[in-house]
Chain A
Amino acid sequence: MDEVWLGILLVVVLFALLGSGVWVAFSLFGVGLVAMELFTGAPVGRVLATSVWGASNSWALAALPLFIWMGEILFRSRLSADLFGGLAPWMGRIPGRLMHVNILGCSIFAAVSGSSAATAATIGRMSLPELTKRGYDETMSIGTLAGSGTLGLLIPPSIILIVYGVAIEESIARLFVAGILPGLVLVLLFMGYVVLWSLMHPERTPPREPPMPLKQKIWQSRRLIPVVLLILGVIGSIYIGIASPTDAAAVGVFLALVLSWLSGTLTRQSFVDGLMGATRTSCMIAFILAGASFLTSAMGFTGIPRMLAEWIATPGLSTYGLLAALTLFFVVLGCFLDGISLVVLTTAVILPVVEAAGIDRIWFGIYLVIVVEMSQITPPVGFNLFVLQGLTGRNILQVAVAALPFFFILVLGVVLLVAFPELALWLPEKMAQMQS
C-alpha cells in the first residue's frame, strides 16, 4: 500500500482513538499497533516490550518524578504567600503595580517548578484574592496569571523539556539552560504589555498604596531568600555543570522538604498528598512517553517519517515557511491536545522532518515549548484556563478572552525566537565552553 494512504489512515485512527476518549497513552500504543500489524512483518509484541523497557528505565527521566514532587511540596508550602509578601512592596512605582506580582511571582515559581498549571495555581491562589480585594481589574489579573503561568514550562526546570529531551535523546541540562533567556524575554514582554495597558487605562488601576520605607521593603524581601537560594542551588548547579538535572532534582526535593518543614507546613498529611500527587502525575507522563517510544519505533518500521522528511527536503518550502506551517498546525492541535501529547507526537513523527530542514534540535525544543505554552491558554482544552476557572469561578470563555493578549505575546515570542535564534542557543554554548 502507498505510504501516503497509510499515513492518512494512521492519522484517522489516531484521531478516532483520541477523540472517542481513549487515554492518550493507550491511543499512542493503539496507533503503533495498527501501523505495525497492518503494514510490517516485524514482531510487534517484541518491539513493544523492548521499546517500553528501553524508554522507562532511564537515568535522565528519573528527574521527572523528582521535579514534579518538588513542585507538589512547594505548592503545599507557604511559598505563595512569601512570594506575594516579598515582591509586592517593590511594585508601587511601575504602572500596573501589583499585577506585576503575578508575572514575577509566576516566573520565580517557574524556576522551581516544571509545570504551568501548578505555577498558575500556586501564585493565583494567593494573588487573585489580594488583587481583587484591592480593586484591580479582574480581566487583567486573570490574563496576567494565565499568561505568565505558562512560563512554568519554559523557565527551567521544565517537565516538557525533560519529556522532549528524553524522547529525542538530547542533553536535558542544555535544553534547560536554553530555556532561560527566552523565558526572561517573555517575562519582559508580559511586563511591558501590562505597563502599556495601565498607561492607556489609568482609571482601571487602583491608587498606589502608602509607600513603605526602604528599610521595611528590604526587610519584607527577606521572605524571598529561601526560594532564591533554592533556585540558585537547583538551576545554578546544573548550569555550572556540577550536577545533572536528576541530581539537582533530588537536592531540590530535599531542600523543598526542609523549607516546608521550617515554615511549619510540612505535616504527615501534606507529605503524603504531595508524594502521591507526584506519583500519579509522573506515572501518567512516563506512560505516555512509553507509548510514544513504541510509536516512534513503529513509525520507523513504516518509513513514514522518512518519507515526510524527503518530501519536505524537496525545494519549495523555506525554513520559515515550514515553521509557520508547523506553528499553525500546533496551535490548532493544541486547542484539543495537551502539551505533553503534542510534544511526543512531534518527536515520533515530525522530528526527522525538522532535522532534514536543518533546524537545530535544542532550538526546536524551545520553539516547541513556547508553542505548547500557547496551547495552555487556548480554549476549549487549555490547562491554565482550567486552573483559573477553578480559582475564579469564571467560565472558560471569559478566562480565555482575558488570556488572549498574552497568547499574542507568545506569538511575538516565537517570532523573536525565529528572528534571533541566539536567544536559545547562546547560553548553552557558553555553558559548553565553561564546562570544557
Chain B
Amino acid sequence: MRTFLDRLYSLSGAIAAAFICAITLIVLAQVLANLIDSVASMVLGAPFGLVVPSYANFAGYFLTGATFFALPYALKRGAHIRVTLVIQALGPKTRQVVEVWCILVGLAIAGFFTWYTFGLVAASYRYGDMSTGMVAIPIWIPQGALVLGGAVLTIALLDELVVALRGGTPAHERANVGILADVSEAERDTDAGRGGRG
C-alpha cells in the first residue's frame, strides 16, 4: 500500500512536469512560427501566416494540468507554504494535535473542492460545452485535471492523517526544510555542494 501510494504521488508529479514541458514546447513552436513568418515577410514580402492553432488556450490548459496534478506531489514534498512560527514553539504532544487539525482542515477543503469540481466537469460533459478558439475541444477534458488532482490530493491528505494519528511524522513535515520550496531546494543544494567540495 505504501509503495502504491508513493508511486501514485510520484506519477502525478511526473505528469505535472510533463505538462510544464508541454507548455514550453507549444509556446516555443509558436515563437518559431512567428520568427519564420517575420523572416518570410522580409525575404518574400509576405508571411506564410504560420500559427499553432489555439496555442494560448492550450498553454492555459496545460498549466491547469501542471498545477493540479502537482498538488499531491508538492504536498508530500512539503512545498506548500504555511506559517510554522507558532507551531514550531509547541511541545511534541500539542504539535501532533495541531498537525492533525491542519490535515483535517486540508482534507475537508480538498474533499469539498473535488466534489464540486466534479460537479463542474459533469455539467460541462452533459451540456457538451466546447472550448472557444480555432481548435475546439470538449471543455471537460482540461477541467478534469481539477478533479483528478483534487482526488489524489484528498487521498494524500488521508494518508497524512493516518500517519499523524498513528503518532508518526507526516511526509510534508519531514520534507519541510525551508518554507518556500526554492529556499529548501537552495539550502539542500548548497549543503550538498559543500559536502561535495569537502
Residues B102 and A49 in contact, CB atoms below 8 Å apart = no
Render B35-66 as a binary contact track against A, CB cut-off 8 A, 1 for contact.
Answer: 00000000000000000000011011111101
Residues A21 and B86 in contact, CB atoms below 8 Å apart = yes
A6 interfacial by beta-carbon distance below 8 Å: no
By a CB distance below 8 angstroms, the chain B residues around A341 are 81
A25 interfacial by beta-carbon distance below 8 Å: yes
By a CB distance below 8 angstroms, the chain A residues around B84 are 21
By a CB distance below 8 angstroms, the chain A residues around B67 are 56, 282-283, 286-287, 290
Say which one of A85-93, A190-198, A357-365, A384-392 lies at the interface with B.
A384-392
Most buried by B among A17, A18, A71, A277: A277
Interface residue from A49, A250, A391 paired with B146 (Cβ < 8 Å): A49
Given that A21-B84, A45-B119, A253-B24 are known contacts, is A125 also in contact with B190, CB under 8 Å in the complex? yes
By a CB distance below 8 angstroms, the chain A residues around B191 are 390
Residues B27 and A66 in contact, CB atoms below 8 Å apart = yes
Interface residue from B27, B68, B81 paired with A250 (Cβ < 8 Å): B27
B151 interfacial by beta-carbon distance below 8 Å: no
Residues A279 and B180 in contact, CB atoms below 8 Å apart = no
B112 to chain A, nearest CB (A): 7
By a CB distance below 8 angstroms, the chain B residues around A48 are 112-113, 116
Residues B63 and A24 in contact, CB atoms below 8 Å apart = no
Given that A57-B142, A251-B31, A280-B79 are known contacts, is A65 also in contact with B66, CB under 8 Å in the complex? yes
Complex Cα–Cα for A280 and B183 (A) = 12
By a CB distance below 8 angstroms, the chain A residues around B142 are 57
A123 to chain B, nearest CB (A): 11
Residues A30 and B109 in contact, CB atoms below 8 Å apart = yes
Given that A20-B86, A24-B81, A391-B190 are known contacts, is A281 also in contact with B60, CB under 8 Å in the complex? no
A59 interfacial by beta-carbon distance below 8 Å: yes
Given that A46-B120, A53-B146, A287-B67 are known contacts, is A24 also in contact with B20, CB under 8 Å in the complex? no
Complex Cα–Cα for A75 and B193 (A) = 12
Residues B83 and A287 in contact, CB atoms below 8 Å apart = no
Residues B99 and A21 in contact, CB atoms below 8 Å apart = yes
Interface residue from A22, A279, A290 paired with B73 (Cβ < 8 Å): A279
Residues A24 and B28 in contact, CB atoms below 8 Å apart = no
Interface residue from B20, B62, B112, B115 paired with A279 (Cβ < 8 Å): B20
A337 interfacial by beta-carbon distance below 8 Å: yes
A426 interfacial by beta-carbon distance below 8 Å: no
Given that A22-B102, A25-B80, A61-B63 are known contacts, is A383 also in contact with B183, CB under 8 Å in the complex? yes
Complex Cα–Cα for A366 and B140 (A) = 38
By a CB distance below 8 angstroms, the chain B residues around A75 are 186, 189
Residues A283 and B85 in contact, CB atoms below 8 Å apart = no
* Total residues of chain A contacting the partner, CB 8 A: 76
Residues B80 and A56 in contact, CB atoms below 8 Å apart = no
Given that A65-B66, A275-B21 are known contacts, is A386 also in contact with B178, CB under 8 Å in the complex? yes
CB-nearest residue of chain B to A57: B60
Complex Cα–Cα for A53 and B71 (A) = 15
A193 to chain B, nearest CB (A): 25
Say which one of A113-121, A176-184, A304-312, A401-409 lies at the interface with B.
A113-121
A236 interfacial by beta-carbon distance below 8 Å: no
A50 interfacial by beta-carbon distance below 8 Å: yes
Residues B117 and A282 in contact, CB atoms below 8 Å apart = no
Complex Cα–Cα for A232 and B30 (A) = 20
**A to B contact number (C-beta, < 8 Å):** 233
By a CB distance below 8 angstroms, the chain A residues around B98 are 20-21
CB-nearest residue of chain B to A338: B81
Residues A118 and B109 in contact, CB atoms below 8 Å apart = no
* Total residues of chain B contacting the partner, CB 8 A: 68
Most buried by B among A45, A283, A286: A283
Given that A33-B112, A56-B63 are known contacts, is A254 also in contact with B83, CB under 8 Å in the complex? no
Residues B146 and A381 in contact, CB atoms below 8 Å apart = no
By a CB distance below 8 angstroms, the chain A residues around B102 are 20-23
Render B127-140 as a binary contact track against A, CB cut-off 8 A, 1 for contact.
Answer: 00000000000000
Complex Cα–Cα for A32 and B102 (A) = 17
Residues B182 and A118 in contact, CB atoms below 8 Å apart = yes
A218 interfacial by beta-carbon distance below 8 Å: no
Interface residue from B28, B63, B146, B181 paired with A62 (Cβ < 8 Å): B63
Residues B79 and A281 in contact, CB atoms below 8 Å apart = yes
Residues B64 and A387 in contact, CB atoms below 8 Å apart = no
Residues B182 and A65 in contact, CB atoms below 8 Å apart = no
Residues B20 and A338 in contact, CB atoms below 8 Å apart = no
A136 interfacial by beta-carbon distance below 8 Å: no
A245 to chain B, nearest CB (A): 11
Render B174-190 as a binary contact track against A, CB cut-off 8 A, 1 for contact.
Answer: 00001111110111011
By a CB distance below 8 angstroms, the chain B residues around A18 are 82-83
A141 interfacial by beta-carbon distance below 8 Å: no
A393 to chain B, nearest CB (A): 10
Residues B117 and A247 in contact, CB atoms below 8 Å apart = no
Subset of 22 A-B contacts with CB under 8 Å: A19-B85, A21-B82, A21-B86, A24-B83, A66-B24, A68-B182, A72-B182, A118-B182, A121-B187, A247-B30, A250-B23, A253-B24, A254-B28, A277-B181, A279-B70, A281-B181, A283-B70, A283-B71, A284-B181, A286-B66, A337-B83, A338-B81
Chain B interface (Cβ within 8 Å of chain A)? Answer: 13, 16-17, 20-21, 23-24, 27-28, 30-31, 34, 56-57, 59-64, 66-68, 70-71, 73-74, 77, 79-87, 98-99, 101-102, 105-106, 109-110, 112-113, 115-117, 119-120, 142-143, 146, 178-183, 185-187, 189-191, 193
- Given known contacts A62-B62, A125-B193, A279-B20, what 8 new A-B pairs fall within 8 Å (CB)? A21-B98, A22-B105, A22-B106, A56-B64, A57-B142, A249-B27, A283-B73, A386-B183
